[in-house]
């Protein structure tokens, strides 16, 4: 599924850069946002097939942003995968209730990231 558009929303610049690099090398078209507001601006014109959504964001959190993405007919079909470093009991359930299609914990395994993304995209095809 290389060539698909992906949005990464993460406020950690190191995570953002590494994840973007891995996915671009795998052939994906990648855009990034450091917070919900920037993501919403990008989504006005960019239509990703998949969004890697950090749950812990400054300002609006990733779960509220997911609700907005899923409520908007223009972006509702995007696959949203929640990403968090603070995996607590019930977090996965909250992410799925907010509309996320999947859940991945940090640190992200960069060796498996492209395969993980491809698997989520294949499920939605």
Average pLDDT score over the chain: 93
Residue 90 has pLDDT above 80, yes or no: no
**Residue 85 pLDDT:** 78
**Residue 107 pLDDT:** 86
pLDDT class of 79 with cuts at 50, 70, 90? very high
Compute the distance between CA of residue 76 and CA of residue 86 in angstroms, rounded to an integer: 26
Mean pLDDT calculated for residue range 34-51: 97
Q: Which two tokens stand for residue 114?
A: 């492209």
8 Å CB contact between 79 and 102: yes
Edge-first strand listing for the sheet containing 79-84: 29-33, 5-9, 50-54, 79-84, 102-105
């Amino acid at each position: 599924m290389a060539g698909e558009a992906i949005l990464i929303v993460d406020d950690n610049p190191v995570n953002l850069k590494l994840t973007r690099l891995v996915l671009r090398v795998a052939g994906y078209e990648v855009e990034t946002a450091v917070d919900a507001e920037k993501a919403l601006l990008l989504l006005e014109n960019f239509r990703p097939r998949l969004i890697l959504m950090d749950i812990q964001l400054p300002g609006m959190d990733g779960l509220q942003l997911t609700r907005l993405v899923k409520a908007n007919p223009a972006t509702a079909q995007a696959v949203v995968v929640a990403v968090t470093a603070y995996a607590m009991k019930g977090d996965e359930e909250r992410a799925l209730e907010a509309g996320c299609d999947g859940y991945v914990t940090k640190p992200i395994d960069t060796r498996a990231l492209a395969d993980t993304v491809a698997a989520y995209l294949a499920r939605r095809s």
